[in-house]
Chains A and B, each alone.
Chain A
């Protein structure tokens, strides 16, 4: 089975993340980039599917040069090869454009199953699996907390508002996975060494058949009008419990008409 995992490099969520003055794009320079946390679950799921059903796992990413670090991590976990779409013209692309560019890459390399993390920790739109399924005309099996494959048939438990749905389709399909679907493996020393020799194909827009007038900040379908840092919350009242802490909290609740 030809399994493709889409990964995204995001700024470390433990660091102070910012937009850049000027073009209001993500400041990728001042913060360490690392692989989007949920994408590690996607890689693990892809590896488990490969281990059970055979095939090959290809990692695809779109982003600046340094996004290749995240691809290396995926390769050291056990993915077989990687494709990195990198081109200055992609900078500042919004979701609509990113889904177009990724769909072009997926179409050109081919796939039976595409696996994504359910959302990225920076944009948190949670829409990419659906957008790719829409563009590729294949089934969307997203927000999965469990994936089962039987021949060319896929069945997932999809998280819903009040529980879960059992959803099924035939391959090809796009899956997105939730946290806790599995326990992502740590790259072994052997895996890290092996990753250095694994093939990483670097694609430009032209090579991927992407129309440059449909991507990038200037052509985006959305724009940032302005942005500000959230003002710090005003310091509240902090009391030490001297036997009446609960009562004081109740008084605060009553003053705010919560009780």
Chain B
């Protein structure tokens, strides 16, 4: 059976959840094979096996972590050439969208970004569902030329175990000079504490203009922590400097699609909705009953967030027995 290549996302040998989601999606089109760039494959192997990777192609030379996007693209392009896979799947991160773009150019293949689901079309082709224009339109797309290169958003499917061998296979590849153009001089990790990553989180709690100040935003963080959630912010908040820009959810920020999205003090302007309206369940708290966020909300409370949220947290604590 032909393979479906999945570029593994990992830190310190730990496989990220989105990779397990991609392995789950890959199964319907062929035999999933993970591709591991950088060190740590041996530690990640059992997790990849549990979720159905028949093989793990490993390129662990130090070169693979010292440059930007091009090394992964060269690795994948060489595997595409050798293995003629059905498709290459990557998690939709900023970097991977670039890896995918380079791979598409190298292999003269169609590129689809930000799929939220993959299904088999009538003639067996892979059909990607995309949510465009801020989630207002659902598009089904397919690749006509080359090997489909598709980036898939986190939380597109629930990862399902399907044990396989995850046999490690080393790939011998030396990078071209062109791949070494942009050198990484330093990787700076910014502390984000114990909270989950915004893009991958199952629950996101976001605060908007209604929190009133940077100090007020602490309440959003506390609520997020009581739910094990990631913290997001509307553009009004990041523009005002109350919370760092990288947490902005919306048209010009992150797009998230968690199981639960809580919009606290967010009016729900179209710019914000574009980043969150595909969330499975939405809860809104806002003092303005006319706020457009209530049109999206599965549950909404019209009231002052500074009384509603503390009471909510008290109830969460009671229910969790704390």
Contacts and interface: CB of A to CB of B under 8 A. Distances in A.
B46 interface: no
Interface string B112-139: 1110000001000001000111111111
Interface residues of A, number: 86
State which size class the interface on B falls in. Answer: 35 or more
A169 B98 contact: no
Contact of B141 (A142, A224, A237): A224
A126 B300 contact: no
Nearest to A121: B251
Contacts of B294: 236, 238
A131 to B, nearest CB: 4
A217 B308 CA distance: 52
B178 interface: yes
A133 B144 CA distance: 24
Contact of A159 (B134, B246, B295, B311): B246
B301 A239 contact: yes
Interface string B175-213: 000100111111111101000010100010000000000
Interface in B237-260: 245-246, 251-253, 255, 259-260
Interface residues of chain A: helix, strand, loop or mixed (majority)? mixed
B interface SS class = mixed
Given A166-B188, A228-B137, A250-B316, A161 B93 contact: yes
A15 to B, nearest CB: 9
30 contacts: A94-B110, A94-B111, A99-B105, A124-B114, A125-B114, A130-B99, A133-B102, A140-B68, A143-B94, A163-B187, A165-B187, A165-B188, A179-B252, A222-B112, A227-B137, A227-B138, A230-B138, A233-B298, A236-B282, A239-B302, A241-B303, A245-B308, A245-B312, A246-B309, A246-B314, A250-B312, A252-B283, A253-B260, A253-B283, A258-B259
Interface of B: 11, 68-70, 73, 93-95, 97-102, 104-106, 108-114, 121, 127, 131-146, 178, 181-190, 192, 197, 199, 203, 227, 245-246, 251-253, 255, 259-260, 270-271, 274, 277, 281-283, 285, 289, 294-304, 307-316, 319-320
